[in-house]
Amino acid sequence: MQYSWFKELSRFLWFGLVVAVLGLMLGHLTLLLLLYTLGYLAWYFYNLKQIEHWLHKGKKSPPPQAKGLWGEMFNGIYRLQQRSRKRNKRLVKFLNRFRETTGALPYGVIVLREQGDIEWWNEAAQKLLELKYPQDVGQRMGNLIRHPRFNAYIHGKTDEPDIDIPSPFDDQQILNVRIIPYGKNQRLVTIRDVTLIQQVEQMRRDFVANISHELRTPLTVLSGYVENLLEHQPDEATLQHALNLMSQQTRRMQHLTEDLMLLSSLENDPATIKREVVNVAHMLAGLREQAEVLSGDKNHAIVLEADDNVQLRGNPKELDSIFTNLVVNAVNYTPEKGRIRICWYADEAGAHFEVHDTGTGIASHHLHRLTERFYRVDLARSRETGGSGLGLAIVKHAMQQSQGKLRIKSELGRGSSFICDFPAHLVVYKGPESSKTIGSA
């Protein structure tokens, strides 16, 4: 380009010299030099007009044709334009990829400017903090999350690498917030919904606390009696009484560990559970007899209405534990002379096992928590009946394994209904006719 510029200048001067000589010869030096300069200026302005017109026409049209320095300048600008267009394309592509990647991230990302105001966010952050574009661009993070712990954290008043705080829009949702400094005084905020992790962690803590509590009580009774027996010489009656109570506590611990093992096997190895066609009516007839024995002096009226024709494809052990837990609960939580009705039948929706009792009933606010491990409405009563607090948790899990669902209806003081719905594809009919097994106390 420098060379062309020099060539252009030389050409201008050489032509000027020729015009000057011609002017001297003709005796019109000034006039010819003026005309020459005006002609050069006209050509100069013509090229300027060309370039202006081309730049206004749009970037994609080819540059105007010109010779010499002007032609090279047009081509130079054109090459620069092409290069910057390619660079822009690459930048847009990169930005789109960056947006797609951050959009796919399961946690929210927010970019803060030096002053701590929001510059950019991804889709997950938009959902978690209900951010709105463009209103929230430039908004301060502290205005968005007004929790005191976050305030201390964003101002660097705490050493914690990240914090867990309730969501500003739903206090049941727990958010994990981490601020990562980067670049020149910029900060990246990552936000994760850790509600489920926290719940699982809480359940784990509760579970350990509950197990320890459940085992400590019978162990305290047992060790108390053992020490007493070792220290004193008991008479026959005291010894008998102590042994009875010790055996009761041992059974309780045994019951608890058996239930725990069952629950853990239901949770851990669903694949190993073998299914076969189970004669449920026959199983329930046996269970009704056991319920009679358990009822003893309470003299419950126990009615069984079972369709002998309806069989179920399932795991006999699992089904037995579902039916037994529900029937035993009905006996345990129904006062003397109450009625217990056990039903087994099928319809288009599938097969149904129902236990209705006229017992104590359960207040509605307990119902959604009943299947949690160790959840009891009345702790004292549950202990009295020797319950492990795991019965309904086992039923819920076993029902899940059987692809069915447990429904609970109850009214305080009037009684409860526990209904197990099994899907239609698991029902196996014995024959076309339906025959019912009916029994009562």
**Size of site (CB under 6 A) for ligand ADP:** 22
Location of structure tokens 């010499």: 68
Q: Which is nearer to ligand ADP, 192 or 396 (CB)?
A: 396
Single residue of 23, 108, 338, 387 touching ligand ADP by CB under 6 A: 387
Quick check: 330 binds ligand ADP (CB under 6 A)?
yes
Q: Tell me the two tokens of residue 45.
A: 């302005």
Quick check: 416 binds ligand ADP (CB under 6 A)?
yes
CB of 108 to ligand ADP, least distance (A): 39
Q: Is 432 left (phi over 0), alpha (psi -120 to 50) or beta?
A: alpha
Q: Tell me the two tokens of residue 145.
A: 């999350």
Name residues whose C-beta falls within 8 Å of residue 101's C-beta, 6 or more positions apart in sequence. none
CB of 331 to ligand ADP, least distance (A): 9
Single residue of 23, 338, 359, 404 touching ligand ADP by CB under 6 A: 359
Find the part of the chain contacting ligand ADP (CB under 6 A) among 139-147, 162-170, 306-314, 391-399: 391-399
Find the part of the chain contacting ligand ADP (CB under 6 A) among 20-28, 111-119, 270-278, 381-389: 381-389
Quick check: 329 binds ligand ADP (CB under 6 A)?
yes
Quick check: 295 binds ligand ADP (CB under 6 A)?
no
Q: Tell me the two tokens of residue 143.
A: 């205005």
Return the SS3 of 149: helix
Smallest Cα–Cα separation from 122: which of 103, 95, 141, 145?
103
CB atoms within 10 A of CB 156: 9
- H or E element at residue 433: none
Separation of alpha carbons 67 and 209, rounded Å: 91
| 28-67: contacts with ligand ADP (CB under 6 A) | none
Residues in the chain: 441
Smallest Cα–Cα separation from 366: which of 384, 382, 342?
382
Return the SS3 of 112: strand
Quick check: 354 binds ligand ADP (CB under 6 A)?
no
Quick check: 362 binds ligand ADP (CB under 6 A)?
yes
Separation of alpha carbons 327 and 354, rounded Å: 9
Q: Which is nearer to ligand ADP, 280 or 322 (CB)?
A: 322
Q: Which is nearer to ligand ADP, 122 or 321 (CB)?
A: 321
Q: Which is nearer to ligand ADP, 308 or 354 (CB)?
A: 354
Find the part of the chain contacting ligand ADP (CB under 6 A) among 39-47, 160-168, 372-380, 426-434: 372-380
Single residue of 392, 399, 420, 427 touching ligand ADP by CB under 6 A: 392
